Structure 1
Amino acid sequence: MRLTQIRVLKTTFPPTHQQNSLSVFSLNPKNPERVVSMEFPDDFNQLDLLNTHNHLIPRGASCLWTGSKDEEGEMDDEEVHSEEWYLQKEESLKDKPAALILWAAENNRVSLVHRLLAAEASLVHSSDEDAYTPLHRAAYGNHVDVAAALLAAGSKVNARTVDGWTPLHSACRWGHVTMATLLLHHSADVNAQTNGGLTPLHLAASHSSSSKTDWRHTLELLLSQRHLKAGLRSNSGESASELARRNGPYHFLFEMVEDCASVFPSQ
């Protein structure tokens, strides 16, 4: 006979590099072309860095993650541009299709993504210098229609950046529950770990905000996954449950997950 562990979630929710150190890159304000690298030791707490220095962490090769100015650390509203601005940007990149599809995915230009993929299907596998794919960019921007188009065209759902981030990491970092649901439906690895050992669950559990229900729903979604390994620890030695207890109001969700044993007859 053998024992197999399963998890039961007693709640409901709406449908909906391994490297020796962490590198953080920022732009030198005196020389925007120059990238400055800062190295941190193995035991550096990357989640503390994420929560306090989002403005230094790149979303991709051509833009920066913009941390919120309020104490909750939530993402700022996206900058609004005119349609003319978007068309001018599209025109400027027309001879660089790989760069154009990355930009289109990041800026939710669904029709442009469809046109580019129809003309050259291999563009779905484009990436920038940090190995962010169009799907990564759609995921952190919560552009679900773009992500669906990319996945339908064969985008690799578990593609990794140079820091080991998958699109699911990007979605869960910002509490994008609908995006996370889509990615999981396409077999995203719920236990994928970054070079720093962070899982999507670590990222979802690290937020202190209770003002947006999406954080709770994202945690509920992840905790409901049959193959979730909730006890995985980051390189700094913390589990997602410990992070939730330290950072936010949703630790009780972890307490609702029970490890159970199912007995199966020996084969």
Structure 2
Amino acid sequence: MENIENEKEKADDGGKSDPEKTLDFSEYFNQLELLETHRHLIPLGTQSLWVDDTDEEEEQDEETEEWYQMQEQKLEKEPNKLLLWAAEKNRLATVRRLLSEKTTQVNTRDEDEYTPLHRASYSGHLDIVRELIGQGADVHAVTVDAWTPLHSACKWNNTKVASFLLQHDADINAQTNGLLTPLHLAAGNRDGKDTLELLLMNRYIKPGLKNNLEETAFDIARRTSIY
């Protein structure tokens, strides 16, 4: 009987939870953790960060080689967009071809000032990162929010990419417009242990730097009960 009543309650509110309970942010709520703590509220149709992604791409779980080739053909007349796309999608041969043909610049940018290196770092594609840096990609390039490629790698626990960027003079203490360091972003990632260890073992790390809410990376980790 109790189960039937519970099911009835769910049906009465459309199966949705109380918005006020779902969005129960603390007094010290920081947008840094919004994606991680409320990912389940994001509509499936908005999962991609890049406006160039098509609906067809979002619906693909495991794209075939033929699908990738079709996408490349669509962007062939826009080499800058193709390079950005190829860096994000781990299309090493395409990246090499575009750069060898000199039809685009290795530091080309999208509308948010992300470079191919940002996209490869965000996606964790180490071979692409190697190729781009070998071709002169700027490890210090910043987006409109002042994110460096290292920020992008550390946000998503791409430890091998972060290590490679640090070996090529990436600024471990670089701060975004919100004064977030790569360490802040790693501390806010529930899966960021490996990257945290990498950063904290670096002799140049400054763990005491604060973001615009006066929080250190330790404050973020402690507040979110991640570690």
TM over 0.5: yes
SS at match of 2:133: helix
Give yes or no for the alignment of 1:62 onto 2:47.
Answer: no
- What residue identity is the alignment partner of 1:59? L
Supply the distance in 2 between the matched residues of 1:53 and 1:164 (Cα, whole angstroms).
Answer: 24
- What residue identity is the alignment partner of 1:183? L
1:236 to 190, 213, 217: 213
Supply the distance in 2 between the matched residues of 1:61 and 1:192 (Cα, whole angstroms).
Answer: 26
Q: Larger RCO: Structure 1 or Structure 2 (Cα < 8 Å, ≥ 6 residues apart)?
A: 1
Supply the distance in 2 between the matched residues of 1:156 and 1:53 (Cα, whole angstroms).
Answer: 33
Q: Percent identity?
A: 49
Give yes or no for the alignment of 1:48 onto 2:28.
Answer: no
SS at match of 1:59: coil
Query: What are the residue-to-residue correspondences of 1:160-199 with 2, within 5 Å?
Result: 160-199=142-181
Query: What are the residue-to-residue correspondences of 1:73-222 with 2, within 5 Å?
Result: 79-120=61-102, 123-209=105-191, 215-222=192-199
Structure 1 residue 164: Cα displacement:
1.0
Structure 1 residues 143 and 208, CA gap change in structure 2 (3 angstroms): closer
Note if contact 2:187-2:218 (Cα within 8 Å) is conserved in structure 1: yes
Query: What are the residue-to-residue correspondences of 1:8-19 with 2, within 5 Å?
Result: none
Supply the distance in 2 between the matched residues of 1:222 and 1:245 (Cα, whole angstroms).
Answer: 17
Structure 1 residues 50 and 194, CA gap change in structure 2 (3 angstroms): farther
Bigger CA drift: 184-193 or 52-61? Answer: 52-61
Structure 1 residue 229: Cα displacement:
1.1
Match of 1:24 in 2: none
Supply the distance in 2 between the matched residues of 1:181 and 1:227 (Cα, whole angstroms).
Answer: 14
Note if contact 2:79-2:103 (Cα within 8 Å) is conserved in structure 1: no
Supply the distance in 1 between the matched residues of 2:181 and 2:153 (Cα, whole angstroms).
Answer: 12
Please give the TM-score of this superposition, normalised by the length of structure 1.
0.66
Q: Flag the structure with larger Rg.
A: 2
Please give the TM-score of this superposition, normalised by the length of structure 2.
0.77
Note if contact 1:139-1:168 (Cα within 8 Å) is conserved in structure 2: yes
Structure 1 residues 189 and 157, CA gap change in structure 2 (3 angstroms): same
Supply the distance in 1 between the matched residues of 2:142 and 2:216 (Cα, whole angstroms).
Answer: 21
Give yes or no for the alignment of 1:224 onto 2:201.
Answer: yes
Structure 1 residues 57 and 233, CA gap change in structure 2 (3 angstroms): farther
Note if contact 2:122-2:149 (Cα within 8 Å) is conserved in structure 1: yes
Q: Give the total of aligned pairs.
A: 190
Structure 1 residue 57: Cα displacement:
8.6
Structure 1 residue 61: Cα displacement:
4.1
Supply the distance in 1 between the matched residues of 2:53 and 2:37 (Cα, whole angstroms).
Answer: 18
SS at match of 1:123: coil
CA RMSD of aligned residues (A): 2.2
Supply the distance in 2 between the matched residues of 1:134 and 1:187 (Cα, whole angstroms).
Answer: 18
Structure 1 residue 98: Cα displacement:
0.2
Unaligned runs of 5+ in 1: 1-42, 65-77, 210-214, 251-267
Structure 1 residues 53 and 166, CA gap change in structure 2 (3 angstroms): farther
Structure 1 residues 114 and 248, CA gap change in structure 2 (3 angstroms): farther
Supply the distance in 2 between the matched residues of 1:57 and 1:194 (Cα, whole angstroms).
Answer: 23
Supply the distance in 2 between the matched residues of 1:153 and 1:122 (Cα, whole angstroms).
Answer: 12
Relative to total residues, which structure has the larger strand share, 1 or 2? 1
Structure 1 residue 62: Cα displacement:
2.5
4+ residue stretches of structure 1 with deviation over 4 A?
53-58
Provide, for residues 60-111 of structure 1, a one-character-per-residue CA deviation record: whole Å limited to 9, x for no partner: 44259xxxxxxxxxxxxx9420111100111111111000000000100001
Unaligned runs of 5+ in 2: 1-27, 55-59
Supply the distance in 1 between the matched residues of 2:226 and 2:33 (Cα, whole angstroms).
Answer: 17
Structure 1 residue 162: Cα displacement:
0.4
Structure 1 residue 52: Cα displacement:
3.7
Supply the distance in 1 between the matched residues of 2:131 and 2:83 (Cα, whole angstroms).
Answer: 12
